[in-house]
């Protein structure tokens, strides 16, 4: 009996019994909250799930070995940000699919029921490394509001534990030199305070200005923290506590109504009588600032404080030191990608801008430029046209990085929400709801298949293609072939729409001949998948009041998935026009056209665009039955002959049934996918282009295989296990 009581106290404790100042068991937030309570500052009623509970759960579920396996697939410093996100998703799902030990679950139910009954609750992270003076982890670990009932709370406790392994938290730990494998997590379970006015207070402006900051909104805090509501902002003189400046928002029209019993309702209209009224009165500002200064003195450090007014009583929800995130190592741009984590609202605005503005303009620009024949211009006009096309290409490349790349987060956001909602066996089951979005590259491949069928129907066409004698083709077929080249290029280039980028420009003929050997109907390994049933199940499982958000998120993810393939082809259509003008300019510059030579040199176009790269050094000798690991990206198991792609021109020799091995599949290589049996990539990530195309065609795929193009040679037999992320080299 006493042993059980001891275990219970080690797993979950009331705030009042927590050890003062010791973060090892209760984490940074727990220690800070206990300090506030001991200083007679009102805080929410709180239970702390200790780090002991985390360790016992991990050991009971056998997760420590699985975590080690995930983080040992590749040296962490060599992992791309997409691979880190993948690993984080798999780890997150491990936590959700594992049950609490029975005694622990029973103890938590008893403690939570006794403390909170049927009241709404909040669950917050409290890592021992969190909210310390040297590093804060602010926003990197998860917190959840508007929870009700023991089962809901315990589900979200596991989500908070899992957030220890998010991509952002893993990267931050690496920057700080912390060992992820020895990290632990405490969790705070608090009553949900239905505040009428809420906000954030910084006792020192985190941007470096010599003043304090108070941000306030009517209602509750989540919309402010999530960036959904613009707050009233006051700048405070730290010496006198006087308000230096009050910046009111353009409008106060929305709020999250204070309630102690309802779930997380969507934002509603702010009552008319509050729209012209600042959330805080002068007396409340004075009381809040006085309390904040006291908290900073107690902690001996400037503080970032989350607060709310419950009627007239000030309640501090949490307090942490103001810190600056460390800078990543020079040349490591993975942390930049954390800025691509966007909210649903931000992604919806990106989608509108991309689909309604950028894509129509890109297509219009490409068509307008295509109407100008560089060969018909004199040297001066050609030089001007080359510069104009270069500037157009630079403009759209900048938009690609500014808007198109961040929009890819739509898939990741949906994947995270889907996994938290459905807790599937496969962490990438959500991809089944995104397939078959009529990708440009798939439409191109259907046109190739139609051309190949026409070759299959008339053997004389095949013979003409084998000889490379396009003039011997009949007029009807030649017209169709010319229309394909005009739209998609001759397949000799890594840019869609460009032509003659390699000395041997017979890529299109070679691929058509190979595709003509396929049967009329080519089954895919994926088959028909029950995406409609999965969609219905997902929407049914959405929390009450969130159905429309779930629908929007799914639609957004499908658009994001489609654009992840289409964006490079759309951009390539513009770049192809630059390549054509530069090719004409280089041809004339060899005849001593000084003006053209100067422009080409200035813009870095004086050498052939996409010239073949130097061959890689000799690969190591083949090793029989050698297994190399990567990331599972396309389910399935296949054995076949490897075709290693070092230069884009290598793709023209691709044969039916081969396994493509490359640095990374791009949209301008995917015309061979109907021929391929599998994919192996050096670049990693479930949502990189090669993985998307693998799922679209039902191909086994492994990504993130270090040195794939040097450890594997063309002609070797390899086995691709897309379930486990393993590539085996050798016949056996």
What per-residue confidence (pLDDT) applies to 457?
Answer: 92
Phi–psi pair at 187, nearest 5 degrees? -135, 135
Share of the chain above pLDDT 90, in %: 45
Q: Give the pLDDT mean for 105-116.
A: 95
Q: Which of 47-51, 193-197, 206-210 has the lowest mean pLDDT?
A: 206-210
C-alpha span between 320 and 322 (Å, rounded): 7
Q: Please report which confidence band the pLDDT of residue 625 belongs to, taking 50, 70 and 90 as the band edges.
A: very low
Q: Please report which confidence band the pLDDT of residue 525 belongs to, taking 50, 70 and 90 as the band edges.
A: very low
pLDDT tens for 320-345 read 888 654 445 555 554 555 556 677 88
Q: For 590-676, where are the alpha helices, taking DSSP H only?
A: 594-602
Token look-up 């195309």 returns 693
Strand order in the sheet with 197-202: 243-247, 232-236, 212-218, 197-202, 303-310, 313-321
- Radius of gyration in angstroms for the set of CA atoms belonging to the chain, rounded to a whole number: 30
For the chain, the average pLDDT equals 84
C-alpha span between 700 and 702 (Å, rounded): 7
What per-residue confidence (pLDDT) applies to 4?
Answer: 43
Q: Is the pLDDT of residue 54 over 80?
A: yes
DSSP state of 137: -
What per-residue confidence (pLDDT) applies to 266?
Answer: 67
Q: Give the pLDDT mean for 290-312.
A: 93
C-alpha span between 130 and 272 (Å, rounded): 41
pLDDT tens for 124-175 read 999 887 644 444 445 578 888 889 899 999 999 999 998 888 887 777 766 6
Query: Nearest to residue 516, comparing CAs of 469, 436, 443, 460?
Result: 460
- Of 80-84, 319-323, 719-723, give the range with the top mean pLDDT: 719-723
Q: Which of 97-106, 206-215, 262-271 has the lowest mean pLDDT?
A: 262-271
C-alpha span between 113 and 117 (Å, rounded): 5
Q: Is the pLDDT of residue 395 over 90?
A: yes
Q: Is the pLDDT of residue 91 over 60?
A: yes
Residue 126 near residue 192, CB atoms below 8 Å = no
What per-residue confidence (pLDDT) applies to 688?
Answer: 81
Query: Nearest to residue 570, comparing CAs of 353, 349, 354, 385?
Result: 354
CA angle 75/76/79 to nearest 5° reads 90
How would you classify residue 589: left for phi > 0, otherwise alpha for psi between -120 and 50, otherwise beta?
A: alpha
Q: Please report which confidence band the pLDDT of residue 460 belongs to, taking 50, 70 and 90 as the band edges.
A: very high
Alpha-carbon dihedral 68, 89, 318, 13, rounded to 10 degrees:
-50
pLDDT tens for 366-394 read 999 999 999 999 999 999 999 999 999 99
Q: Is the pLDDT of residue 529 over 80?
A: no
Q: Give the pLDDT mean for 683-687.
A: 80
Please tell me which residue, 19 or 246, carries the higher pLDDT value. Answer: 246
Q: Give the pLDDT mean for 246-258.
A: 83
C-alpha span between 159 and 169 (Å, rounded): 14
pLDDT tens for 396-421 read 999 998 899 889 889 988 998 999 88
CA angle 498/500/506 to nearest 5° reads 115
The structure tokens listed for 96 are: 């959700």
Q: Is the pLDDT of residue 621 over 80?
A: no
pLDDT tens for 474-502 read 999 999 999 998 888 888 888 887 787 76
CB atoms within 10 A of CB 625: 10
Question: Could you tell me which residues are beta bridge partners of residue 303?
Answer: 321
C-alpha span between 335 and 169 (Å, rounded): 11
């Amino acid at each position: 009996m006493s042993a059980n009581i001891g275990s219970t106290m080690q797993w979950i404790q009331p705030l009042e019994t927590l050890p003062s100042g010791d973060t090892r068991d209760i984490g940074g937030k727990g220690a800070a909250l206990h300090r506030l309570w001991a200083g007679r500052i009102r805080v929410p009623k709180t239970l702390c799930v200790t780090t002991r509970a985390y360790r016992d759960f991990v050991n009971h579920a056998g997760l420590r070995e699985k975590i080690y396996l995930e983080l040992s697939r590749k040296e962490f410093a060599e992992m791309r940000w997409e691979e880190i996100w993948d690993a984080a998703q798999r780890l997150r799902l491990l936590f959700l699919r594992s049950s609490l030990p029975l005694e622990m679950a029973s103890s938590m139910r008893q403690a939570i029921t006794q403390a909170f009954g049927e009241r709404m609750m909040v669950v917050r992270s409290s890592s021992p490394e969190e909210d310390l003076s040297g590093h804060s982890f602010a926003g990197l670990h998860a917190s959840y509001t508007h929870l009700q009932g023991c089962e809901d709370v315990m589900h979200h406790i596991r989500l908070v534990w899992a957030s220890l392994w998010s991509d952002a938290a893993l990267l931050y730990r690496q920057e700080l030199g912390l060992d992820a494998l020895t990290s632990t997590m405490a969790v705070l379970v608090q009553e949900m305070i239905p505040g009428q006015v809420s906000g954030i207070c910084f006792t020192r402006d985190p941007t470096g200005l010599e003043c304090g900051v108070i941000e306030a909104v009517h209602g509750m805090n989540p919309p402010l923290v999530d960036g959904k509501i613009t707050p009233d902002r006051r700048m405070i003189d730290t010496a006198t506590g006087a308000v230096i400046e009050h910046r009111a928002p353009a409008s106060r029209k929305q709020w999250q109504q204070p309630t102690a019993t309802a779930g997380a309702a969507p934002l509603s209209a702010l009552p008319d009588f509050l729209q012209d009224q600042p959330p805080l009165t002068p007396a409340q500002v004075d009381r809040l600032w006085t309390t904040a200064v006291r908290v900073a003195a107690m902690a001996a450090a400037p503080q970032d404080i989350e607060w709310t007014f419950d009627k007239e009583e000030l309640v501090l929800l949490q307090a942490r030191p103001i810190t600056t995130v460390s800078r990543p190592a020079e040349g490591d741009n993975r942390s930049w990608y954390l800025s691509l984590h966007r909210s649903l609202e931000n992604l919806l605005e990106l989608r509108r801008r991309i689909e309604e503005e950028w894509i129509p303009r890109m297509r219009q620009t490409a068509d307008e430029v295509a109407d100008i024949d560089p060969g018909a211009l004199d040297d001066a006009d050609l030089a001007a046209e080359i510069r104009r096309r270069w500037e157009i290409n630079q403009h759209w490349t900048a938009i690609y990085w500014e808007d198109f790349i961040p929009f890819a987060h739509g898939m990741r956001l949906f994947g995270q929400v889907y996994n938290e909602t459905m807790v599937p066996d496969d962490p990438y089951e959500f991809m089944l709801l995104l397939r078959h979005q009529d990708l440009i590259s798939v439409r191109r491949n259907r046109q190739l298949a139609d051309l190949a069928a026409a070759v299959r129907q008339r053997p004389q066409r095949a013979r003409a293609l084998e000889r490379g004698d396009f003039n011997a083709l009949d007029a009807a077929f030649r017209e169709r072939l010319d229309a394909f080249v005009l739209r998609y290029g001759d397949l000799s280039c890594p840019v869609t729409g460009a032509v003659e980028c390699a000395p041997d420009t017979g890529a299109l003929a070679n691929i058509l001949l190979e595709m003509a050997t396929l049967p009329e109907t080519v089954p895919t390994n994926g088959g028909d998948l029950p995406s409609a049933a999965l969609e219905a199940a997902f929407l049914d499982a959405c929390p009450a009041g969130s159905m429309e958000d779930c629908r929007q998120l799914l639609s957004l993810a499908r658009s994001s998935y489609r654009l992840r393939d289409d964006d490079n082809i759309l951009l390539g259509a513009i770049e192809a026009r630059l390549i054509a003008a530069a090719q004409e300019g280089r041809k004339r510059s060899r005849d001593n056209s000084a003006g053209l030579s100067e422009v080409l040199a200035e813009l870095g176009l004086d050498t052939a665009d996409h010239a073949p790269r130097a061959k890689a050094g000799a690969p190591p000798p083949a090793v029989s039955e050698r297994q190399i690991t990567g990331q599972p990206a396309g389910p399935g198991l296949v054995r076949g002959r490897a075709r290693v792609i070092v230069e884009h021109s290598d793709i023209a020799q691709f044969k039916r049934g081969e396994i493509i091995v490359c640095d990374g599949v791009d949209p301008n290589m995917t015309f061979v996918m109907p021929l391929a049996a599998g994919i192996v990539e050096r670049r990693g990530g479930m949502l990189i282009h090669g993985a998307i195309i693998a799922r679209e065609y039902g191909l086994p795929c492994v990504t993130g295989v270090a040195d794939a193009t040097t450890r594997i040679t063309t002609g070797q037999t390899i086995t691709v296990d897309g379930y486990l992320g393993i590539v085996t080299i050798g016949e056996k």
